[in-house]
Chains A and B, each alone.
Chain A
Amino acid sequence: MRLATKLTLALTISIFVVVGVHGLWTARVAVGRMERDRARLLTERADLLAAAVSEALNREGERNARAILGRTADEVEPGRVAWLQATGAAPPEFRGSAEDWSRLMGNQGVGPFVDSSHRFIAMYRPLVRDGKVAGVLGIESSAQAAQQESRAILMNTATIALVLAVVCALVILLGTHLLVARPLAEVTQQLRRIASDDLTGRLHVRGADQLGELANEVNQLTVGLDIARRRIEDETRRRVAATAQLRHAGRLKVVGQLTASIAHELGTPLNVVSGRAHMIAIGVAKDEVAVECAQIIERQSARMAERIRGLLGFARKGVSERGSVDLAHLADGSLSLLGHMMHRAGVVPSLEVSEGGPWRTRGITQELEQVLANLITNAIQAMPGGGRLSLRVRPAAASEQDSRPLVCLEVEDEGEGMPDEVRARIFVPFFTTKEASEGTGLGLAVCADIVREHEGRIDVDSKPGVGTTFRVFLPMATAEAAAEATPPAGPETHAAG
């Protein structure tokens, strides 16, 4: 039910009740007054008539007295004047009680009697002959006039109530529509627009009443929300940019480590190349020896080119599209990328892939490669004296926290391990236990961020003096998802190119 209807109904009912109660009361008062007037009139008449009839009875006998009564009665109250016999018991037409009758017999007048439905008033007077009650004079008067009056008053009241109600209803309906419903509908509409994220509109403020205030408040709310939203959008943009920069920084950190490693690695082949070239240049190597030197140069150049390609492949920003990522393939690539670094550090890697693969997830290859490279370089740094580094790719059992099928990428080292207080903070940005020149404290924070974005999680187990195991859990890509992500196989020549 709409507000205006409710108001109208409430008001109409109130009017009906007030006017009705007033009408009933008025009618009741009027009827009471009329009855009192009539009773007084009736008393006077009864007294007069009883005196007259009593006198006639004493002077001219009962027959004449009855005749006078008959004549007078016709003038006074036709058909309503009666002569009751003065018997011991009250006759049935007597309106009063037995006591009243006894009182009449004791020469006392009684009345007025009003019947319960206010149809008549009755009055009784003793008729006295020679000091004895010879009969009873009864006069009845119809109360119809009072009833008609009462009905008229009630009717009148009802009419007034009806007219008032109709007028009120009209005024309320119109008033609420113009003054309340329309502005409220506008406010409601504006709030709906706000809810649906449209913050451009403003309300037209009419007047300084409560609704005007409301409109004003809603406008201020809209402006506030608009400003807040712009601020959030701006902040989000900046954060996204910062995150991207952070990731790139994390990536560059690995690139830096790789570059150092590769620079060392290139020393030997460069030495061979320049030495062999020099031999050809000065003519020490001739004929077949020169050819042999050139072949050596070619082989060494190829060796260097391969290393550099690997580094560039990791460092390039490139397109980061989501696709199906084979984790065993990823692990293999990372091991080969970091092979020399491990070799130098005396770290012996191993890769174990559970049967039943391929184990795939959906994600961005470059980012996952960054995570793995970070974990591997951390493991290398944790084993300054060398050791075993085990990589495992396996399906993970669904846990209570995670019912999805998962794949797990495990990186285990035999390094120094870390105490609990360090372990608790390793994913916090800028937390590092390394020298300033060695680490930024961003690597693992970025890793955790990337894994989170792949809807996975990263766990760590560590025992000081025994080693550390990082586990990256990622949602397993379904066969359909993997098929969808892999482009349809083309001719072999294309794939080879």
Chain B
Amino acid sequence: MIRPDPKERSRPGASARAARVLLAEDDDEMRTLLKAYLELAGYEVRAVGDGLAVMEALTDAEWAADVLVTDLHMPVMGGMELLRRLGESGAAPPTIVITSFGDDAIHNRARKLGAIEVFDKPFDSTRLVRAVKTLLDAG
């Protein structure tokens, strides 16, 4: 377990700004929680409730997301559909999937569609933060 690290805020990057995480989760409490954790780790977080909102957010040239964290089961557009479309567009940020239906088939499908990491609910929120950091460091 790690504590959110305040130093992340001043992490040196390609553009001297805080890394941006786009978060998609339909459950309000879960969304608020993950947003709080990511913000505590020093990231700039934009949180939305469905896949279509993710697509819209990604069209914003002013706010380019460095990492996408998305739930699979969401109204309007689910995570799988979102991954498929992003894969087609070829302009997807590195993606972490969180899901409550975690079986191997779903994991494999999500990975095939481009997810780098898949988290089964319930998971340790700090592990997600660590995974985001690893992804950003690698990128």
Contacts and interface: CB of A to CB of B under 8 A. Distances in A.
Interface of A: 264-272, 274-276, 278-279, 282, 284, 296, 299-300, 344
Contacts of A264: 100-101, 121
Contacts of B100: 264-265, 267-268
Given A264-B100, A267-B120, A344-B73, A300 B29 contact: yes
A275 B121 contact: no
A267 B1 CA distance: 19
Contact of B124 (A267, A269, A274, A300): A274
A384 to B, nearest CB: 13
Contact of A271 (B1, B36, B73, B125): B125
Contact of B126 (A270, A276, A278): A278
A284 B5 CA distance: 11
A278 B3 CA distance: 10
A307 to B, nearest CB: 13
B126 A268 contact: no
Nearest to B119: A271
Interface of B: 1, 3-4, 27, 29-30, 33-34, 36-37, 40, 73, 100-101, 120-126
B101 A275 contact: no
21 contacts: A266-B122, A267-B122, A268-B121, A269-B29, A270-B121, A271-B30, A271-B121, A271-B123, A272-B30, A274-B125, A275-B33, A275-B34, A275-B125, A276-B33, A278-B1, A278-B124, A278-B126, A279-B36, A284-B3, A284-B4, A300-B29
Nearest to B37: A275
A282 B41 CA distance: 14
B101 A344 contact: yes
A272 B122 CA distance: 8
Contacts of B37: 275
A344 to B, nearest CB: 6
A271 B122 CA distance: 5
B122 A274 contact: yes
Contacts of B33: 271-272, 275-276, 296
Closest 5 CB pairs of A and B: A267-B121, A267-B100, A270-B122, A271-B122, A275-B125
